[in-house]
Amino acid sequence: MGVIGLGARAEARCRELSRPPYSEDPNALTRTYLTPPHRAAMDRIAGWMRETGMSIREDEAATLVGRLEGTKPGSPALVFGSHIDSVRDAGCYDGPLGVMLALACVEAIAAAGRRPPFAIEIVAFGDEEGSRFQTSMNASRAFVGRLAEVKLDVRDRDGTTLADALTAFGRDPTRIASVTRERSSVLAFVEPHIEQGPVLETAGAALGVVTSIAGQWRLKVRFAGRAGHAGTTPMHLRADALAAAAEAVLAAERIATEGPADLVATVGQVAAKPGAPNVIPGHAEITIDVRAGTDPVRDEGLRQIEAAIAEIAMQRGVKVEVERVQNLPAARMDARLQGLLKRAAEKFGHAAPELVSGAGHDAMMLADFAPTAMLFIRCAGGISHNPAESVTPEDCEAALGVLLAFVDVFAAEQPE
Ligand code: GLV
Ligand code: MN
Ligand code: MN
């Protein structure tokens, strides 16, 4: 297969990875960290990496690392990568597309009998979404040495700790520090990724270069009221935890709607207890995800939402506890690498406009560690975190062409 076709095959491989045994759900794509479908996907991808002549290893955070040596064995690497975990009921490109395109790039280089002056690595992180444990990006956090933020005692819905899940996956959580890379071993990190928004499609562009990634807060908010009989408790004598949570959902929506255009707030999970049709909910728990392109806007949105929640709880006579589960500040991409990606895109006949990423990415972790950039691939209708997520094989071919041109312009910049 020539270069034409490898990009399209990257797209097809994402679809292959969207079904059992690569999904927890026979009718939808759900692949969360350290589950049998995660193992199956890693094994399949490792097989594809080996076919291209890459050596394979798996670190103690269950990140798959493939490596193609350059002309000088043991040299620092240009690292491509993304994640292979998914949200629940996901589309099949968010994450795997970046890994599959990187693989296509290495395959094209190897097939041409070429060796760049540096190594090329592909990393497939397993925990970008945070769908299983409370925090996200544990694998890339460990990779860059943010070990204090990797809480091995966090639990999934079934009560399994991250440490136990790593052990069951065949990893050794007591050796998590070994995951952290030597800074000098990474020349740069480039993450190709489906855009997950409508900007490129609206601009009529197949590809884009990310300038920065929006900052995020993740909150868990617990309301404690009083459970009671649904038939006998007059409305004015109730302390309904779910009704308070419902008001908080609408307050978050209103604050984000009335705030700056880049401020967004989402309640994605709601739970009420005891959970019976004839019992007033005594407890309710919601998650709130707050994001903006800059941290001051994000933090002001958070301040207003937390103040509104405190006011709602007071008015309704329920107790409330707000836990700030995760703080991901906005991340700027490396200006020099952005320029090289644009130059590579121009070489390949694409304009590749600049855009801000509203979605979070492992590149946020890498940005403080090594020069980091992202190449976005156009997304049909801007739909993502949804099974209808879609890219075209033609756009994947274009992305592959740009990645190959990027390796050349990056190599031309390296000192002899
Ligand atoms: C991941 O896709 C996120 O933006 O939360
Ligand atoms: Mn995602
Ligand atoms: Mn993603």
| Distance from C-alpha of 195 to C-alpha of 206, rounded to nearest angstrom | 10
Residue 70 CA, distance from chain mean position = 29
- Record the pTM: 0.92
CB 216 within 8 A of CB 324: no
Q: Last residue of a domain, which of 328, 360, 375?
A: 328
Q: Starting from the CA of residue 83, give the closest ligand.
A: 3
Residues 257 and 377 in one domain: no
Tell me whether residue 133 is in a domain.
yes
The string of pLDDT tens digits covering residues 110-131 is 999 999 999 999 999 999 999 9
Residues 167 and 225 in one domain: no
Tell me whether residue 1 is in a domain.
no
Residues 170 and 220 in one domain: no
Q: Which ligand 1 atom lies nearest to the CA of residue 385? A: 2
Residue having the nearest C-alpha atom to atom 3 of ligand 1: 360
| Distance from C-alpha of 45 to C-alpha of 170, rounded to nearest angstrom | 18
Q: Last residue of a domain, which of 328, 360, 393?
A: 328
Residues 167 and 248 in one domain: no
Mean pLDDT of 26-52: 98
| Distance from C-alpha of 300 to C-alpha of 151, rounded to nearest angstrom | 27
Q: Which ligand 1 atom lies nearest to the CA of residue 289? A: 5
Q: How confident is the model at residue 134 (pLDDT cuts 50, 70, 90)?
A: confident
Q: Last residue of a domain, which of 297, 328, 359?
A: 328
Question: 224-249 burial, b if ≥16 CB within 10 A, otherwise e?
Answer: bbbbbeeeebeeeebbbbbbbbbbbb
Does position 184 have pLDDT exceeding 80, yes or no?
yes
Residues 223 and 200 in one domain: no
Which residues approach ligand 1 with their CB closer than 6 A?
A: 129, 359-360
Which of 93, 125, 128 best tests ligand 1's pocket when mutated (most atoms within 8 Å of CB)? Answer: 128
Q: Which range marks the domain in which residue 120 is found? A: 6-214+330-413
The string of pLDDT tens digits covering residues 352-395 is 999 999 999 999 999 999 999 999 999 999 999 999 999 999 99
Domain count, the chain: 2
